A and B are shown apart, each in its own frame.
Chain A
Amino acid sequence: MVLFYSLLYEKGGRERNEDSMALHRMETRAGELTMALICDGMGGEDKGELASGYLVECLSVWFYDKLPSVLRNGFRRGRIQRCLQRQLFTVHEELRRFGLENKLRCGTTMTMLLIFNRQYLLFQSGDSMAYSLGRKIRALTPRQGNDRGVDRCIGIGSFKAPHMSGGRVACNEGFLIHSDGFGDRITPKDMLGALGGGRIKERGEADKALRTLAKAGVRRGCRDNMSAIYLGCS
């Protein structure tokens, strides 16, 4: 069960924050469901915040409108994955058409964490990352960027299904999902030092730790937007 959350939403050295993020929770008859989502509006692409904001909006509607009917039959990974892929494909096509009509390149990455009772599912398209923090730090998402840029992106190019992983939530485990700007100059070791080891027990402490990490990133020369969500579980 998710006990508390902490959010970091900094524009860094940029004019505006092109990332968008969402955090939703609902209590259902089958248990408690939480969704944490970060979309990075693809630095360098035009109207990045438009694409990331629109995806966050659509997935928030999806969370409340479509997901409950899927969960009525239990937390089945395959069903959730198919339902999400349909939604992502729709948004991808809408963004692509909007880009073509307005001569823009409208793209965004996405990392979504779904926690249902003691199970979690993670979906990733692009280079935003997710970590599990306990005594050790464990990357839940593979690095997807390559020399030519991000290879999975919603709204640009052909649609590729997001990478999916899942597992069980351990006692006192924490989850951190962040945009690539946050992870640019901050290493997993720094994240473990600030948030790991089971030392974060409440929201205030997590807020402080995230701010400290962001400041460290800026000191080390990060100029990108920095967005992160930390979820503390029981």
Chain B
Amino acid sequence: MSIYEAEGAVIGRYRLIKKLGKGGMGAVWLAEHTGLHTRFAMKMAAGDINGLSRSCLRTEAERMKTLNDRRIPYLVDFIEDDECSVLVMEYVEGITLEEYIGKNAPLDEEEALGLMKKLCDIVAFLHNSRPRILYRDIKPSNFMISAGGELRLLDFGTALIQTEGMQGEEICGTRGYAAPEQLKNSGVRADADVYSLAAVYSYMLSAVDPSRPPFHPVRGEELGRMVSRSTKKLIDSCLSPDPDKRPANGIALRGRLEKIRPGREKLLNCMEEHLYQLIMWTQVMAACILLWARHGGHPIPEAEFICYSISLLSLLWGFIREEFFTDPGFVLQRSWNIILSSKEGTGLHF
């Protein structure tokens, strides 16, 4: 088998058509079966046969072999020789979730919730499989929206079978989407995938990409009043640095998402914002007018005075507490976030 990474080159029974992209392990090509004329995606890794990229590709093929779900591209073939390893899989035509969010974010809460439920279903399938699979690199560019509108999860290069004492595995994941313990390599569990899912949810609702500085997702308090409280609360709990405070896995997160009713809560938010203020100031005005009309400058009876004072003071206390003693978050919105640099990756390294 001779490998030519060029258009028209033939590898096994597959002809390379065009390069689709380049990942951490190698290039991804669109290829056509020479006999059947069916299109497939081919992932290639070159170098030493026991090198990291080739062994990762081998592991990826092993994982894909065991996964049988329409939301995950199926494995077609795995070709290996002295020069390189090639993984042939189903070709999913469409756009990545990253492109979709980039174009449409911030998404409406209903739409974001719908997408999140679909993402969660795929991750829940992985977490539910025996043995449990941890994906470890959930980010929008690894999800594809097919031409039929179906979400598919690609790239199983970092996926790992959960075993006891997993500490010491290589650090993987994308800064901003990966959970803090994942980047510190201090043991990864299914809740690390939950953190990444919440980071994607936060990106959909805020349009702030966590993979750009300051490399952390927007938290609930920054999401504004158009997002329901239960969503904010869920995002905050999923993004907690303490893994024990997050939903345990994709299945638990799916259950929490099911309980969110964005439309109803939006109405309540709106009422809280405007109606509360309106009622409060109407009451104050009404009390003043009533007092003036009833007593017109004469002394007010003591009992009545106490009643009015208590009700007015309680309203005033609510206002003071809301304005001065709650911390609603200083930053309301981030925008632009443009960085232009020839430097590759993040951090200080070659």
Contacts and interface: CB of A to CB of B under 8 A. Distances in A.
Interface stretch (B141-149, B226-234, B311-319, B332-340): B332-340
Interface in A113-144: none
Given A7-B340, A60-B213, A64-B213, A26 B335 contact: yes
Contacts of B338: 7, 22-24
Interface string A38-82: 000000000001101110110011011100110110000000000
A29 B332 contact: yes
A26 B341 contact: no
B24 to A, nearest CB: 19
B330 A57 contact: no
Contacts of A61: 213-215
B333 A72 contact: no
B348 interface: yes
A223 interface: no
B265 to A, nearest CB: 23
Contacts of B333: 26-27
B50 interface: no
A24 B337 contact: yes
Interface string A1-45: 000010101010000111011111111111000100000000000
A210 B270 CA distance: 45
A18 B340 CA distance: 10
Contact size range, A = 35 or more
Contacts, number: 96
A176 interface: no
Nearest to B212: A60
Contacts of A207: none
A50 B339 contact: no
A214 interface: no
Q: Which of A20, A57, A94 counts the most B-chain CB atoms under 10 A from its CB?
A: A57
Contact of A25 (B329, B330, B336, B347): B336
A2 to B, nearest CB: 9
A179 to B, nearest CB: 12
B339 A28 contact: no
B307 interface: no
Given A68-B331, A71-B330, A20 B343 contact: yes
B348 A98 contact: yes
A124 B213 CA distance: 22
A65 B331 CA distance: 10
A195 interface: no
A21 B213 CA distance: 13
A102 to B, nearest CB: 8
A39 to B, nearest CB: 9
A207 to B, nearest CB: 14
Contacts of B213: 22, 24, 57, 60-61, 63-64
List the 10 closest pairs (A to B, CB-CB), nearest first.
Answer: A53-B343, A60-B213, A20-B341, A64-B214, A53-B341, A49-B342, A61-B214, A27-B333, A23-B338, A25-B336
Interface of B: 212-215, 328-343, 346-348, 350
